[in-house]
Chain A
């Protein structure tokens, strides 16, 4: 039986799709059969981040509406074994997603996969609720910035009231905090919320910290999940995050400012 994980945030532009792509890639690299699904109907982007935009023939909506079967719509990643992508539709509107159709598709996938990663759209409307509804666990992606933290809190409220687990009174969705675009040097200067600040405010366990990095933009330019970038802090941070998710104990990295020559001289 597959585990369903939603990658969500409320606010847009915080790194949901980047995180979903790298998280799914990392899970697959560790030998887990994984599919990542784009729930952002009308504004699809996961295919671009995963570099398979030219291979999309059928999408998630086609499957839900019976116009294609799953085998036709799933795109197998060419770089990582065990990794599949299900793109969102670009032409339909978000009302094309219906709970019952989503459930049918997820149940079918669950027979065959270890992990189903749902990349949520921004906002708190239908699409976001669909993406989280069937989740067992949630990655709440947050930037160290006031509007993102507040929106994450709002999403935590939805996870505990609008999901299937909440409605059926089952064990709650397991929540994980993922802090992205973390600039340790600015935190050191007191200009940016620190990990412990965010933790104090949101009160959910931290799964990973992804440092602010030029690699993320470069990787997206070429359709490469950051987790596949061997020489980048952000890539390593994503792989660490996956390892922690799978139960390994790995200390957080990239959380201290790099010390420059002047800092050393001044004994900072």
Chain B
């Protein structure tokens, strides 16, 4: 380290921050979550609300996937019910 380094700023550059943020958004897109229709999150919330009229379920009880094959789109719903007590 040169003696003049004392005058240099020790602050980490903003580029590092940019890189970390970009790595997150890019990973998110590449995982396929960006491909969902815009109404997906709301639909998921609505389904949860309906379910909760009848059973107590957690936030992750409704899993949804869109499968695309050619022109065909299939919405796959997977609802996990809590263990029922007899």
**Which partner residue on chain B sits nearest A146 by CB separation?**
B18
Q: Are B22 and A201 in contact (CB under 8 A)?
A: yes
A150: contacting residue among B15, B16, B22, CB under 8 A: B22
A154's nearest neighbour on chain B, judged by CB, is B29
Say whether A267 contacts B2, CB under 8 Å: yes
Encoded as 1 (CB less than 8 Å from any B CB) or 0, chain A from 146 to 173 comes to: 1001100110010000000000000000
How far apart are the CA atoms of A194 and B29 in the complex, in Å? 22
Of B2, B14, B21, B29, which is within 8 A of A190 by CB? B14
When distances are taken between beta carbons in the complex, the residues of chain B under 8 Å from A187 are: 15
Are B23 and A191 in touch, CB under 8 angstroms? no
For the complex formed, measure the closest distance between the CB of B32 and the CB atoms of chain A, giving whole angstroms: 10
Q: Report yes or no: B22 in contact with A149, Cβ–Cβ below 8 A.
A: yes
Residues of B within 8 A of A154 (CB): 29
Q: Is the CB of B13 within 8 A of A190?
A: yes
User: Which residues of A, 186-210, contact B by the 8 Å Cβ criterion?
Assistant: 187, 189-194, 197, 200-202
A191, B26: Cβ atoms closer than 8 Å: no
By the criterion CB–CB under 8 Å, are A191 and B14 in contact? yes
Answer yes or no: B4 CB below 8 A from chain A CBs. yes
Smallest CB separation, B36 vs chain A (Å)? 13
Which residues in B have their C-beta under 8 angstroms from that of A202?
26
Q: How many residues of A contact B (CB 8 A)?
A: 21
Q: A191 and B19: CB pair below 8 A?
A: no
- Give Cα A189–Cα B2 distance, bound, in whole angstroms: 17
- Assuming the contacts A266-B2, A266-B4, A267-B2, asked whether A193 and B18 have C-beta atoms less than 8 A apart, the reply is yes
Q: What 0/1 readout, one digit per residue, does chain A (172-192) give for beta carbons within 8 Å of chain B?
A: 000000000000000101111
CB-based contact B19/A193 at 8 Å: yes
Contact: B2 with A192, CB < 8 Å? Answer: no
1/0 per position for B16-52, CB-CB distance to A under 8 A? 1011011101100110001000000000000000000
Whether B53 is near chain A, meaning CB under 8 Å from some CB there, is no
- The answer to whether A193 touches B26 (Cβ under 8 A) is no
Among B13, B21, B26, the residue within 8 A (CB) of A153 is B26
The chain B residue with its CB closest to the CB of A153 is: B26
Find residues 130-152 in chain A having any chain B CB closer than 8 Å to their own CB. 145-146, 149-150
Q: Do B29 and A157 have beta carbons less than 8 Å apart?
A: yes
The answer to whether A190 and B16 touch across the interface, beta carbons within 8 angstroms, is yes
Q: Is B12 an interface residue (CB 8 A)?
A: yes
Q: Give the distance to chain B from A189, nearest Cβ to Cβ, in Å.
A: 6
- Residues of chain B within 8 A (CB-CB) of A266 are 2, 4
Residues of chain B touching chain A, judged by Cβ–Cβ distance below 8 Å, are: 2, 4, 12-16, 18-19, 21-23, 25-26, 29-30, 34
Given A157-B30, A190-B14, A192-B15, output 19 extra A-B contacts at Cβ < 8 Å. Answer: A149-B26, A150-B25, A153-B25, A153-B30, A157-B29, A190-B13, A190-B16, A193-B18, A193-B19, A194-B15, A197-B19, A200-B23, A201-B22, A201-B23, A202-B26, A266-B2, A267-B2, A267-B4, A268-B2
